[in-house]
Structure 1
Amino acid sequence: MWDIGNFVADCRTAIDRDGTHKSVADVVGKAMSDPAAVTSALGEPTESGIIPLYKSSDLTIVNVIWKPGMTIMPHNHEMWAVIGIYGGREDNIFWRRVKDDPEGRIEAAGARALSTGDFAPLGKDIIHSVTNPIPKLTGAIHVYGGDFFEAERSEWDPEVLTEHAYDMSKVKAMFSD
C-alpha cells in the first residue's frame, strides 16, 4: 500500500544521500510501478489543481492534476524534477534556447509522452511545456529538488516564444479556471 508519508520520507532519504534526481527517480519509479495504489492513497482526481504534499528549501512534492486538453506554456524549473504519472497522460515538449537570440527565444528540441505508470527525470536546465491531450483528468506526482513555489525562473510566451519571469499566480489560475 502506497502512503504519502512514507513516500516523502523515502524522497528525503534519497536526497540526503544524493542531492541529484537520480536516487529520487528510483523512489518515484517504485511508486509508479503501482499507480492504482497511488490513486487509492491520494483519491481519484475530481478537479484540476496544484496540491502541495511536501515543501522545504531542498524538496517539494506536488500532486498535479491536469484538466482535459490543458496546456501550460514553456517554462523552466531551475532545479531538477522527477515526474510520475499515476493516471492519464502528460505530453512534454522539450525546448532549447536559440543561440545568440537577444529576446531569449526558444525552439523545440524533442518530446516525450508519459502515460499511467511512466516516470521521467528532468535535469536542472530543462525547458518544457506540458499538455494533457486526453479527455479526462491526468494525475501526476512532481518531485522537485528545491522550493518549487519560491524559485525564480522563466516562462516563455506560447505565441512568440520570448522569455519572461515565471508567474506562479497565473499558473495557479490556469489550474483553477
Structure 2
Amino acid sequence: MTNPIIDEFVERARTAAASDTSTSAIRELLKGSLSESDAMADAIASLEDDEVMVFEDETCSIWTCRYDSDVVLAPHEHCMSVHIAVYRGAEVEVLYKREPGRLKHGGNKLVSAGEVVSLGPDAIHAITADGSGQSHAIHIYEGPLTEVKRSLFDWNSGEEVDFTMENFHAMRRLKSNMKEFQ
C-alpha cells in the first residue's frame, strides 16, 4: 500500500469503521494514534502527494493530508461525517454557512498537533495550515468519499461548483488575501 505504519493504521481504521459504534470507534482510534505522532507525521511526509487516499470501501475513506500555511483550499462539503487527527503542525478549519447569494464565514477552528476534531455531514469548510509550516493529518470519512456527489462553493457567490480535484486546487486562495485571516 503506502508505508508499514499507515498500512497498519488502515487495518485498525477499517475495523473501527465497520463496528456498530463506528463514530466513537474511529475517534478513539485517532486519539490513540496520537501517541505515535512523530512516526505518523513522518509516514505522511514520506508520501509523494499532499493528499493521498490510502483506503476506501463502503464503510470509510482514509486520506493522508498535508496542507501549506500560505494557501487556503476551496470551501467544500463532504456529505458525510469526517474525523481528523493532526500529527504535526496545525490545521485550520475555515467554517462557512450558506446564505442566499454568498457564503457566510462562521469562524475558524484551530486543530493543533495532538488533537482530533469531527465535522458533521452538513459542514462546509475550507482548509489550510496554521503557522509557517505544513500540517500533517489523517482524515477518516464515514463512507466512500469518492463515490458521493458533492460540491465546492464559489468564494464570492456561494454557488455550487462540481467537486473535482482539478476544481478544488484551481479555486485555492492565498491566505494573505483573505479577510478570514486578517
So what's the TM-score if we normalise by structure 2? 0.80
Deviations, residues 88-112 of structure 1 (Å, cap 9, x unaligned): 11111222222xx3x5x33122321
Work out the CA distance in 2 between the residues paired with 1:57 and 1:172. 26
8 A Cα contact 1:68 1:137, kept in partner: yes
Higher mean displacement: 49-58 or 23-32: 49-58
Equivalence for 1:6: 8
**Long gaps (5+) in structure 1:** none
Correspondence 1:26 to 2:23 = no
Tell me which moved more, 18-27 or 59-68.
18-27
Distance 1:57 1:129, change over 3 A: same
Measured after TM superposition, the shift of residue 174 of structure 1 is 7.5
Number of residue equivalences: 169
Structure 2 CA distance for aligned equivalents of residues 57 and 139 of structure 1 = 25
**Match for 1:158 among 155, 159, 162?**
155
**Per-residue deviation, residues 151-170 of structure 1 (Å, max 9, x unmatched):** 21111112333222212223
Q: Distance in 2 between matches of 1:10 and 1:46?
A: 20
Distance 1:165 1:73, change over 3 A: same
- In 2, Cα distance between equivalents of 1:170 and 1:132: 20
Please state how far the C-alpha of 1:138 moved relative to its aligned partner. Answer: 1.6
Unmatched segments (≥5 aa) in structure 2: 173-182
CA distance in 2, matches of 1:141, 1:43: 8
TM-aligned CA deviation for residue 86 of structure 1: 1.0
* Percentage of pairs with the same residue: 25
Q: Does the CA-based 8 Å contact 2:44-2:136 persist in structure 1? A: no
Match of 2:80 in 1: 79
Does the Cα contact within 8 Å between 1:48 and 1:66 map onto a contact in 2? no
Query: Structure 2 vs 1, CA of residues 108 and 4 (structure 1 numbering), >3 Å: closer, same or farther?
Result: same
DSSP 3-state at the match of 1:26 = helix
Partner residue in 2 for 1:90: 91
Contact 1:20–1:80 (Cα < 8 Å) also in 2? no
Point out the more displaced range, 165-174 or 112-121: 165-174
Q: Which amino acid counterpart does residue 137 of structure 2 have in structure 1?
A: A
Is 1:57–2:66 an aligned residue pair? no
TM-score by length of structure 1 reads 0.82
Report 1:92-131 matches (<5 A): 92-98=93-99, 101=100, 103=101, 105-131=102-128
- Range 125-134 or range 71-80, more displaced: 125-134
Q: 1:43 to 1:151 in 2, by over 3 A?
A: closer
Runs of 4+ off more than 6 Å:
none
Change over 3 Å in CA distance of 1:68–1:47 after alignment to 2:
farther
